[in-house]
Chains A and B, each alone.
Chain A
Amino acid sequence: QKEVEQNSGPLSVPEGAIASLNCTYSDRGSQSFFWYRQYSGKSPELIMFIYSNGDKEDGRFTAQLNKASQYVSLLIRDSQPSDSATYLCAATLEYGNKLVFGAGTILRVKS
């Protein structure tokens, strides 16, 4: 059983809409959660991290964490074509020394 699950997509949204990306995890001991963006042929780059239940906002991005449901999400407001990429969700394992990544969700923003 994969420890971090994401819908592979592609998720298609029109420019200016809200894109909602979801992730579930299986290890109840996971404490920290990360969202990385990866453009085609490039390396992953961190967008946001979240440790506490609730919402965390950074510009157009909002991360949401619900530890009871083992669910993490990323909302992208006012989506732009430049947001088109693969979004990777990651969770910590084993006292925070390692991350486990989901397979990623492909997002396509249509202009």
Chain B
Amino acid sequence: NAGVTQTPKFQVLKTGQSMTLQCAQDMNHNSMYWYRQDPGMGLRLIYYSASEGTTDKGEVPNGYNVSRLNKREFSLRLESAAPSQTSVYFCATSHGVAGRDTQYFGPGTRLTVL
């Protein structure tokens, strides 16, 4: 029972390159989230998926796209990476909506864009 897994753990990109961050959960949770965490900024929501087949924008969606591939997997894509996207990215899941159910976080992906 791995909980929430994220790949890769570390990544270095050059400006303009693209990549996809993967998140998978074996908790049978309905809702999944992508956050970024920057020093002094706390966690900021990028996108979320309240259930399989639905996605919605969060606070900072520009420059990102997401896919809820199935109930278990939620991927985050950077089409053309920029230095401003250097951050630590966390995937999280919850059984129901964020306001009533605990969010469980993955270990994070540390991304550097040069």
- Does more than half of chain B's interface fall in helix, strand or loop, or is it mixed? loop
Stretch at the interface among B66-74, B77-85, B93-101: B93-101
Inter-chain contact A88/B97, CB cutoff 8 Å = no
Alpha-carbon distance between A89 and B35 when the two chains are bound, in angstroms: 15
A side interface size, CB within 8 A: 24
CB within 8 Å: A-B pair count: 55
| Cβ-defined contact, B98 with A88, below 8 A | no
With A43-B107, A45-B105, A97-B48 already in contact, the answer to whether A103 and B99 are too (CB < 8 A) is: no
Q: Which residues of B contact A92 (CB under 8 A)?
A: 98-99
Which single member of B42, B50, B90 contacts A43 (CB below 8 Å)?
A: B90
Most buried by B among A4, A8, A34, A98: A98
Residues of A near B103 (CB, < 8 A) are 34, 46, 99
| Top 9 A-B residue pairs of the complex, sorted by shortest distance between their CB atoms | A96-B99, A92-B99, A43-B105, A103-B42, A101-B43, A101-B42, A32-B99, A99-B98, A96-B97
Chain A positions near chain B (C-beta within 8 angstroms): 4, 8, 31-32, 34, 42-46, 49, 88, 90, 92, 95-104
